[in-house]
Amino acid sequence: MSDREQLQKARDFLAALLDCKAADEAGDLLVNNGPDLQAELDAALKVGAPEYTYEHLEAAACMWEFVLNDLRRHRSHSDAYNDFREAYGMATLRATVIRHAPQLEAKYQEAVANGYDKDFDWEFVPQYMRDHVTRILTGS
């Protein structure tokens, strides 16, 4: 079964679940379709989905914390994160920033391998966020 077919099957299955009037009906639907459908659903839901580690999630949280603090400090004047928020909205800013977490984590691991020994959240992330603001906001 192709990825496209798996994804469509997963969409159909989820649509059927959403149409159920009670949780029991949803459970019956899953049980009646057996473990093969569950395996196909699991595979279909992973098509194109990024894999995130705990370290990526921590990096994303630290990045978002930095941005929130930056927005608070620069309420009265312009800066890149505030300008982006004004242009595209807070949800887009958040998604844009946290999507960059794997790159930040990779750079941190590279820095540690080269002898970096300062705090991740208080030292590395703020400096990275200042140095790479354009790359983060443009997705490059």
The pTM for the full model equals 0.61
Task: Give the C-alpha separation, 32 to 17, whole Å.
Answer: 13
What pLDDT is recorded for position 5? Answer: 65
Q: Please, how many CA atoms are within 13 Å of residue 74, restricted to the half-sphere of its CB?
A: 16
Q: Where are the domains of the chain?
A: 3-46, 54-138
The 3-state secondary structure of 38-90 reads HHHHHHHHHCCCCCCCHHHHHHHHHHHHHHHHHHHHCCCCCCHHHHHHHHHCH
State percent of the chain over pLDDT 70: 61
- 51/17: higher pLDDT: 51
Question: End-to-end alpha-carbon separation of the chain, Å?
Answer: 34
Residue-wise pLDDT tens digits, 50-95 = 678 889 899 999 999 999 998 888 776 668 888 888 888 899 999 9
CA atoms within 13 A on the CB side of 43: 13
